[in-house]
Structure 1
């Protein structure tokens, strides 16, 4: 039996609006999804609890199904309610971004640009670009979040970031993303200054495997790349490995022990320098072809960049490393 005309694909546009659903209804259901309480949601939207209850009844009538169930600790959205709340949250977020784009267009590329990056590109690519942007466009405020591609992908999907420098992780649906490839990411093995292997000529990876290693926890891309490289070249894996996501802790452990750490070469080179905060670690002259797969600029395919974000992206792509760097 065919669905009623009101539900047909050709007539479905704006059905909820024609049924009387207003912005306040959407703000309220999004707030309930966030708080799990009618009273808290009402306060968040700026209304009384009785007014919120009336709006919820109107909303249930409009969608033709219950959208929440009450329980001792508050309310829980039904499956229909969760679908509605997700759509409402997405629409409200899109409206905020639209207003941000309007403001930035009127003001001339003012505003906040939220950038994510994995560690290597943050040092090699993002840092010099940020330095130039601060001088040329001081009216653009930048926030930078450095993390793994897995966490940056989640932040991008939840619109906490405008874009990030990294990779779409394996196993993640690539369809929501636009990926502009830039370069592979060289890896260096880092040790403390004065390490038994430091400065040795004709060094091999086999010489390194008798020492402790400090790497990302299992599953991290840099660790996977390093271990795959060792196995594919006929070497055993290190017998003693400490896993950490912290570059600072990695460098502290390397500085205080004989541990060996694979790091993005751009990060290693920064800390090897004699000036500033570096000069206390060395890079081993081994495995020059050890590289993580290509990284690039990742953004949501369905969203247009704000004028300020577009300015930052153009500046980044002009400074993008070449594949040989």
Structure 2
């Protein structure tokens, strides 16, 4: 049916979403290869459907800022949906209004059109089409002679020697490593956010009863870091019920596409595409606590950066096995929460 729809000239650009009653390993990848933009398992949850439609139709998710605020909003420029969601919720937990865009060009345009709304920018360093360093240079060029200098804080999953210096040379004011830690984010905000507009800390909320947040099975704790899971639970308790399901669901949806890009890059011997896709999957995996998978992605990213993809072929089976195991651990966790 998908092929027939896409063969129709008037419908070839129509986004397709597959709805299935069974979450079979490999089915998501098959759906994407068949032309579907996403897939959802039944029974369909309202929040899952909303997130899927927003991703497929490139609609910005619900933000934490009102359009009437001036000079108080944190602009988040982050292309990864799950990572973007995490940053927005951490800002919400700290009491800061925020608005997010998913690419550097949109970030620049937002500052050009609505610059007075924003107090500072959290800028992902590695994004497709235009990276955060290039975007920052363009922003500084646009500010030249205006007397304005909006603080820009780098967000990067690299954490490599020299990264901080490169960010500062590009015109950024500070640097935070991903996965983002609440204490580090709070310290950066207190340093760069206008003191006269700084929000009052939100009132603490009680943590949910232990039985509401299942613990991963013993054999999956090496795949999903318990400490990261606990951090997500605390964030869920203070900001948004159902966060765990949403974040892990977004990861399962987005990571399938990244795995396909990694394999294709290796097959095509495209070192730059391998670097970018491995970097993206590394960042997403580390954010949700899949540190073991993230480490393998980091090695593939390094291979891509070297320009020699010959050694990447041998790592793909290991990556695929670890990815499949991680996805099974996530599905098991989600099943326990159902």
Structure 2 length as normaliser, TM-score?
Answer: 0.25
More helix per residue: 2
| Largest Rg, 1 or 2 | 1
Structure 1 length as normaliser, TM-score?
Answer: 0.26
Bigger RCO of structures 1 and 2 (CA < 8 A, at least 6 apart): 1
